[in-house]
Amino acid sequence: MQQFAGKPLPLVDEVNFSIIRENIPIFILTRQGYLDGMGVNKDAFGAMITPGRELAPKWRARGLHLEKDVEPATFWISYNMDDPLVGKNRKLRQALSAAYDAQTYSDIFYNSVAPVAEQLVPPGIAGYSQTYRNPYGFNLEKAKQLIAEAGYPNGIDPKTGRPLEITLDMVAVGSEDRQRAEFEQRCFEKLGVKMKISENTFARLLQKQDTGDFQLSSGSGWGADYPDPENFFFLFYSKNMPPAGKNISRYNNPEFDRLFEQMATMENGPERLEIVNKINAILAEDCPNILNFHKAFYSVVQPWAPRTQDNAMLEGGVRFATVDPALRAEKQKDWNRKPLWPLAILGGLVAIGAVSAVRINRRRNA
């Protein structure tokens, strides 16, 4: 930042916000040099990031920089605690949680970069423990046992003799969403239940979450607004019910509430940590959600538009963006060399066509 000291903000003359609805063109445009930077999505990962979590040599040679952002955020699948089936059957919730393979999810969709979430609070926020393990994390054997204890051995509902039907609500617009949905479906169906996927537009999903019209809802998550665990736990506070509040799971536990109110205003210290641990234990047992992963966001920037600030929670950071237009023009030309051989082939075809026509005509008139 030092190099910019004394210069008036903003550092560029014009900022262009392009809304690109598809993932593929973003990658292609970055390769061609028409975009100054991009977030590395699932398909670009394999191409750009090595297993050692570094930028692949081919891209480093071009001068791109890799920026690793760890936004303190966690993602999960919410249960609806008011639902007569899943809300009242703790073993069932625990069983489904133990059947969910978050590591493979991260492997497929985040190239193993996003860490599996063992607890609600993400790394970087006080209260996060690197050694803590979710007692109902992925363990298929345990899951099968739990679902039998829940009253549905092998996923069969003894009342109907057929697999238990559960509905998972999510936003499914686009092929990647569908793949995620299918992955979750396959995880749960290993238990023998029948997982129905209910696809919604984002608006309808929000509406359903507000009215409580769902059993499981995927894609729930929270990014820290400020670096404090209270910001995450308040999502399960009983006084925070929708539609006014954000307690989508409708979790209502007086013991949790009591501990929450206690720690909300405490200073960080061993006492607070003890309460946080107790809260974690309660949440793990009650299982109002199935934890998925913590966000780890990689992005690449072109050599002519280096990062100038690193604060993940800063709003309006666009002020500090900077660009070297000369370098950009040069690299764009360099990376977009156009091979001419296809045009030659096309020309050849036209020539052949003309010659054949002339020959056929001559033969006909002869």
Partner 1 sequence: MEALFTHWLTQNLLVLAGFSLIAWMLWSASHHERWRRAWLRFRSDRGGIIALVVVGIYLILGALEVLSFPTKSGGTRTVLDLFVGGVPAEKSYSAPLATRLLSEAKPDPVKATHLLGTDALGKDVFVETLKACKTALIIGGLTAAIYIPLGTLFGILAGYFRRRVDDLIQYVYTTLASIPTILLLVAIILVLGKGLGTMSFALGLTAWVGLCRLIRGETLRQAERPYITAARALGQSHWNIITRHILPNVLHLVVINFVLGFSGIVLAESVLSYLGVGTPVGTPSWGNMIDSGRSELSRDPMVWWNLVSATVALFGLVLSLNLVGDSLRRAFDPKRG
Partner 2 sequence: MLSYVLRRLLYAVPIVLGVIAITFLLFNVLQTPQAAATLVLGPKASQQARAEWIKNRGLDKPKSEQFVKHVKNMATFNFGTSWKSGRELNEVFRTGVGPSLMITIPGFLAGLIGGVGLALYQVFVRNSLLDRSITLWAVALMSVPTVVYIIFLQAIGALMLNYFPASGFDWRGLETLKFVALPIIIMAVVNLGSDVRLYRTIFMEEITQDYVRTALAKGLSSGHVLGVHVFKNGLIALITLTVGSLPALITGSLLIENFFGIPGLGNVLVLAIGTGDQPVVMASVYLGSLLYIASLILTDICYALADPRIRLS
Q: Tell me which residues touch partner 2 (CB under 8 A).
A: 18-22, 24-25, 28-29, 31-32, 34, 173, 201-204, 206-207, 210, 243-244, 335-339, 342, 353, 356-357, 360-361, 364-365
What DSSP letter does each residue of 278-346 carry, written as one string?
A: HHHHHHHHH-SEEEEEE--EEEEE-TTS------TT-TTGGGG----HHHHHHHHHHHT----HHHHHH
Range 230-249 burial, b when 16+ CB lie within 10 A, else e: bbbbbbbbeebbeeeebbbb
Which phi-psi region, left, alpha or beta, contains residue 219 (left: φ > 0; alpha: ψ -120 to 50)?
A: left
Closest contact distance (angstroms) between CB of 141 and partner 2 is 39
Tokens 């900077």 belong to residue: 322
Residue 268 contacts which entry, partner 2, partner 1, none (Cβ below 5-8 A, type-dependent): none
Q: Which is nearer to partner 1, 133 or 196 (CB)?
A: 196
CB of 8 to partner 2, least distance (A): 27
- How many other CB atoms are found less than 10 A from the CB of residue 328? 17
Q: Answer yes or no whether residue 66 interacts with partner 1 by CB under 8 A.
A: no
Q: Does 175 bind partner 1 (CB under 8 A)?
A: yes
Binding partner of residue 309 among partner 2, partner 1, none, CB cut-off 5 to 8 Å per kind: none
For partner 1, what does the binding mask look like between residues 88 and 127, x meaning CB under 8 A? ----------------x--xx--xx---------------
Element (H, E) at 68: strand 65-69
State CA 317 to chain mean position distance: 22
27 binds partner 1 (CB under 8 A): yes
Considering beta carbons, is residue 21 or 363 the nearer one to partner 1? 21
Of 185-224, binders to partner 1 (CB under 8 A) are 185-186, 197, 199, 201
Instruction: Say whether residue 167 binds partner 1 (CB under 8 A).
Output: no
Q: Minimum Å distance from CB 23 to partner 1? A: 5
Q: Which is nearer to partner 2, 88 or 239 (CB)?
A: 239
How far is 192 from 164, CA to CA, in rounded Å?
8
What are the DSSP calls for 219-257, one per residue?
A: EEEEE-SSS-THHHHGGG-TT--TTTS--TT----HHHH
Give the single-character DSSP code of 130. Answer: S
330 near partner 1, rule: CB under 8 A: no
Q: Which residues bind partner 1 (CB under 8 A)?
A: 22-24, 27-28, 43-44, 46-48, 50-51, 104, 107-108, 111-112, 154, 156, 162, 172-176, 178-179, 181-183, 185-186, 197, 199, 201
